Amino acid sequence: MSELTTVARPYAKAAFDFAQEHKAIEQWQDMLAFAAAVAEDEHMVSFLSAANNVDKVAETFINVCGDQLDAHGANFIKVLAANGRLIALPEVKAMFDELVAQQSQQLTVDVISPAKLLKAQQTAITEALEKRFGGKVKLNCSVDKNIIGGLVIKAGDTVIDGTLRGKLERLAHALQS
């Protein structure tokens, strides 16, 4: 994994610098997300490992991506293919996202709830977390039917367990102490 990180870093940085210069960060995030998904597909992985013609690999990959790539994205894929780095695309995408988050000083927070959160609830949670962490917060909401009530919030190394089960466990621990 660390080898892929080392390989992916310069490509992610180059893509980020280009996207920032051309004010196309979101477009590049979308292109990289799609290309990374293609690179992770089991059929594509076996094709990439078996193919030895760089031009054919790049052409096939770009054709699979279709309209999801613009001309610059296609050139990026050609460079990755020429250097045998298409398999590192998921890591490139992850590092690109990290660079975007660092640039905007945005913290991605996972919020797990028992039911889908309403927009008003998401807004209230975002505002509270922005005050707590002192920066922009992007929510990544998911639903876990096993949660009876409350939320679990994960921000980096910080976990806030506001579920009923978590509160009861803390109360039981306090009573036993």
Q: Are residues 120 and 75 in the same domain?
A: no
Q: Are residues 81 and 116 in the same domain?
A: no
Q: Are residues 66 and 109 in the same domain?
A: no
Q: What is the mean pLDDT of residues 112-141?
A: 91
Q: What is the mean pLDDT of residues 13-29?
A: 92
| pLDDT one-digit tens code per residue, 48-107 | 888 788 888 899 999 999 999 999 999 999 999 999 889 899 999 999 998 888 777 778
Return the amino acid letter for 21: E
Q: Is 137 within 8 Å of 129 (Cβ atoms)?
A: yes
Output the domain CATH number for residue 78. 1.10.520.20
Of the candidates 157, 152, 130, the one whose C-alpha atom is nearest the C-alpha of residue 141 is 152
Q: Are residues 29 and 53 in the same domain?
A: yes
| pLDDT confidence of residue 2 | 56
Q: Residue 40 is part of which domain span?
A: 2-101
Q: Are residues 18 and 90 in the same domain?
A: yes
Look up residue 16 and give its two tokens: 């980020």
> Comparing 93 with 135, which gets the higher pLDDT?
93
How many structural domains does the chain have?
A: 2
Q: Are residues 79 and 121 in the same domain?
A: no
User: From the centroid of its chain, how far is CA 141?
Assistant: 13
Q: Which contiguous run of DSSP H or E holds residue 155? A: strand 152-155
| pLDDT confidence of residue 47 | 87
Q: Are residues 117 and 55 in the same domain?
A: no
> Comparing 4 with 145, which gets the higher pLDDT?
145
- The 8 Å CB, 24+ separation contacts for 174-177 are none
| pLDDT confidence of residue 12 | 94
Q: Are residues 87 and 15 in the same domain?
A: yes
Output the domain CATH number for residue 112. 3.30.2320.30
Q: Are residues 59 and 113 in the same domain?
A: no
User: From the centroid of its chain, how far is CA 1?
Assistant: 16
Q: Are residues 22 and 75 in the same domain?
A: yes
User: Distance (Å, rounded) from C-alpha 86 to C-alpha 142?
Assistant: 30
Q: Are residues 23 and 70 in the same domain?
A: yes
| pLDDT one-digit tens code per residue, 141-177 | 999 999 988 999 998 778 999 999 989 999 999 999 8
Q: Which contiguous run of DSSP H or E holds residue 152? A: strand 152-155
| DSSP state, residue 88 | G
